[in-house]
């Protein structure tokens, strides 16, 4: 699969991985729809891209998941169709379970899971009618195994895998593809913006994120996985080996994570 003449919709496009995707895809002969909550940042990304005339912005908030049918209708009208939806928007969390307000768990589920699911379901009839389409979902390695201080985040990301694996099975007959992208540590602001126990932002970077993959390297690997229509892709440094350790022994993975000082 190539991106030429495709219409690609990216959520969480105002910074980090989403911004990197927009910059890289703008070099190719495709059209982009960029979404996030922040219109000013989206406009800045659009101006930074090549061929900005092929890029439209559509601000909205994933937390308002009841509005996704209207949002999706507006998106389709921009270029007349959508070929690929890259579900990249979301937030993270850093706090011990015992201290974390249930409102934080709720917010993570509303944004990372329900917002993404509602948007994808709203677009599904369009994909079925066209008998084609690809969902790309940026989950996390934390959607495959867990880590301390990320309970709400891990829960939401695990849920995404359950939903989209089912969608892939149900709509194989409609030629709809699902690619789950599982990043390890990527050097973005995800840790700074992560919610703490009371719902406030952490406000600082952690060492593992700071030393993670550069966004441009990550994006190139991610786009390769999308082109190949992979079911899942694990992209990171040594933390990716957790996927394979889990297959050997859950108890061993438990010990490795406790000793790795990822918190």
Give the integer Cα–Cα distance in Å for 157 and 111.
11
Instruction: List residues bridging with 141 in a β-sheet.
Output: none
- Choose among 87, 72, 111: nearest CA to 167: 87
Angle at 184 between CA 39 and CA 242, to 5 degrees: 155
CA dihedral 72, 76, 81, 83 (to 10 degrees): -30
Q: Which residue has the tokens 């849920």?
A: 159
User: Cβ(61)–Cβ(50) under 8 Å?
Assistant: no
Q: Which residues contact 62 (CB under 8 A, 6 or more apart)?
A: 11, 89, 90, 110, 111, 115, 116, 119
153 classed as catalytic: yes
* Whether 13 contacts 21, CB under 8 Å: yes
* Residue in 65, 113, 135, 153 annotated catalytic: 153
> What are 10's strand-pairing partners?
34, 86
Contact 13, 42 (CB under 8 A): yes
Contact 161, 180 (CB under 8 A): yes
| Active-site residue list | 153
């Amino acid at each position: 699969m190539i991106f030429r003449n495709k219409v690609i919709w990216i959520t969480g496009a105002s910074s980090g991985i989403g911004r990197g995707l927009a910059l890289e895809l703008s070099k190719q002969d495709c059209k982009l729809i960029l979404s996030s909550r922040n219109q000013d940042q989206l406009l800045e990304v659009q101006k930074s891209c090549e061929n900005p005339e092929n890029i439209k912005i559509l601000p909205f908030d994933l937390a308002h998941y009841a509005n996704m049918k209207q949002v999706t209708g507006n998106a389709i009208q921009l270029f007349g169709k959508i070929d690929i939806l890259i579900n990249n928007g979301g937030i993270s969390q850093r706090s011990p379970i015992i201290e974390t307000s249930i409102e934080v768990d709720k917010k993570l589920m509303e944004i990372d899971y329900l917002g993404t699911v509602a948007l994808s379901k709203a677009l599904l009839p369009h994909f079925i009618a066209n008998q084609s389409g690809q969902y790309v979902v940026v989950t996390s390695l934390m959607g495959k195994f867990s880590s301390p201080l990320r309970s709400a985040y891990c829960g939401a990301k695990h849920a995404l895998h359950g939903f989209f694996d089912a969608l892939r099975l149900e709509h194989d007959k409609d030629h709809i593809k699902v690619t789950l992208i599982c990043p390890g540590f990527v050097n973005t602001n995800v840790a700074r913006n992560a919610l703490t126990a009371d719902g406030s932002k952490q406000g600082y970077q952690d060492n593992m994120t700071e030393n993670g993959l550069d966004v441009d390297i990550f994006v190139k690997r991610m786009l390769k996985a999308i082109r190949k229509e992979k079911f899942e892709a694990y992209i990171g440094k040594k933390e990716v080996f957790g996927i394979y350790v889990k297959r050997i022994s859950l108890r061993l993975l438990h010990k490795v994570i406790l000793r790795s000082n990822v918190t």
